Amino acid sequence: MDVFMLQLFNGVSVSSILLLIALGLAITFGLMNVINMAHGELIMIGAYAAYVTQNLFRNYAPASVFDSYFIAAIPVSFLVAFLFGLLLETVLIRFMYGRPLDSLLATWGVGLVLQQLARSIFGAPNVGVTSPKWLDGGMTVASGVVLPYKRLFIIGLVIVCLLAMYVYIYRSNAGRRMRAVMQNREMAACLGISTRRVDAVTFAIGSGIAGIAGCALTLLGPIGPSIGTYYIVDAFMVVVLGGVGKLVGTVFGALGIGLTNTLFEFWTTASLGKVLVFLCIVAFLQWRPKGFVAMRTRSLD
């Protein structure tokens, strides 16, 4: 029973991490149809932004407030990745709309450049990010079942991001304009929407969320120039499985992959578990090529 509870929690926790890294991609790939191979590097930028924030706090702030650095790191990571996304969109991505293969190659190149840049600035070895004290340890639910605070925090963070995105896309004027542009660009332009600006802001928001994901990942694993490459495939899997173009599909995709992955890993081994997940995804996409939630639109293709 303990093990079952723990595994269920692990499944939800892995799902939440998958969801966080895929949320930004759900916007840039799902909504804008840009195959952004540099998404992983935007995650990396967020992670390094958290690392820099930590160092600034350590060097310049009084020791008593050091533990609150992580709260500051989240908006900093978002902002840095947001600005990077904005820059990327204006100098590169805007030439690539509607040309998914070109965007794949170009952004892949950008990803390599960014990795090399990180290696030059921060060095090739991993850097240590000290987690704040208040996230150490875990909540003991029953004897032997400890839920790490870091994972609970990440689940909370994902829920906040998801809500914020929902409100932005479906309840705000900016979101309404964004959906209009995604659904029918020409018509939206005719109605006086500056599609250029909407494109740029949308892409930058997707990038910013990748930055938040990177900030959260500093709690769990290594921070190095190649951190993005560990997660980029998973992120695409989530979006494709969930159904391109739908936020709710991304949530289902992340939950599906996260839960089945932990289940398989528990029954078999880590390597075999991953293979089985891949096979399940392939089988599922044979059955429903458009993923869990298909977009209903007349203007698609």
Partner 1 sequence: MGRTEKKPVRLMLLVFAVILALAGCGKANEPAAGTTETGGEKAAEESASSGDAGGEIKVGVLHSLSGTMAISEVSVKDAELMAIDEINAKGGVLGKKLVPVVEDGASDWPTFAEKARKLLSEDKVATVFGGWTSSSRKAMLPVFEELKGLLWYPVQYEGLETSPYIFYTGATTNQQIVPAVSWLLENRGKKFYLLGSDYVFPRTANKIIKEQLKAEGGEMAGEEYTPLGHTDYSTIISKIKAAKPDVVFNTLNGDSNVAFFKQLKDAGITSKDLTTLSVSVAEEEIRGIGTDVLAGHLAAWNYFETTDTAANKTFLDNYKKKYGADRVTADPIEAGYTAVYLWAAAVEKAGSTDVEKVKEAAKELEWDAPEGKVKIDGATQHLYKTARIGEVQSDGQFKELWNSGEALKPDPYLKSYPWAASLSSGS
Taking the least distance from each CB to partner 1, the nearer of 140 and 297 is 140
- Under DSSP, is residue 294 helix (H, G, I), strand (E, B) or coil? coil
Taking the least distance from each CB to partner 1, the nearer of 149 and 168 is 149
Neighbours of 123 (CB within 10 A): 11
Binding site for partner 1 (CB under 8 A): 3, 6-7, 10, 13-14, 17, 91-92, 95-99, 102, 105-106, 109-110, 112-113, 116, 119, 123-128, 130-131, 136-138, 140, 144, 146, 148-151, 219-222, 224-226, 230, 262, 265-266, 269-271, 273-274
Closest contact distance (angstroms) between CB of 290 and partner 1 is 21
| Distance from C-alpha of 155 to C-alpha of 161, rounded to nearest angstrom | 10
DSSP 224: S
For the chain, the residue count is 301
- Under DSSP, is residue 219 helix (H, G, I), strand (E, B) or coil? coil
Closest contact distance (angstroms) between CB of 287 and partner 1 is 27
Taking the least distance from each CB to partner 1, the nearer of 206 and 224 is 224
CA nearest 36: which of 118, 113, 105?
A: 105
Taking the least distance from each CB to partner 1, the nearer of 23 and 217 is 217
Count CA within 13 A, CB hemisphere, residue 156.
7
Closest contact distance (angstroms) between CB of 259 and partner 1 is 11
Residues 6+ apart with CB under 8 A from 251: 19, 162, 242
Taking the least distance from each CB to partner 1, the nearer of 109 and 289 is 109
| Distance from C-alpha of 220 to C-alpha of 21, rounded to nearest angstrom | 13
Taking the least distance from each CB to partner 1, the nearer of 75 and 138 is 138
Neighbours of 100 (CB within 10 A): 12
Taking the least distance from each CB to partner 1, the nearer of 183 and 226 is 226
Closest contact distance (angstroms) between CB of 11 and partner 1 is 9
Closest contact distance (angstroms) between CB of 189 and partner 1 is 10
Closest contact distance (angstroms) between CB of 110 and partner 1 is 7
DSSP E strands, the chain: 138-142, 145-148
Given CA atoms 144, 19, 236, 299 in this order, what sign does their dihedral have?
positive
Residues 6+ apart with CB under 8 A from 160: none
Closest contact distance (angstroms) between CB of 175 and partner 1 is 23
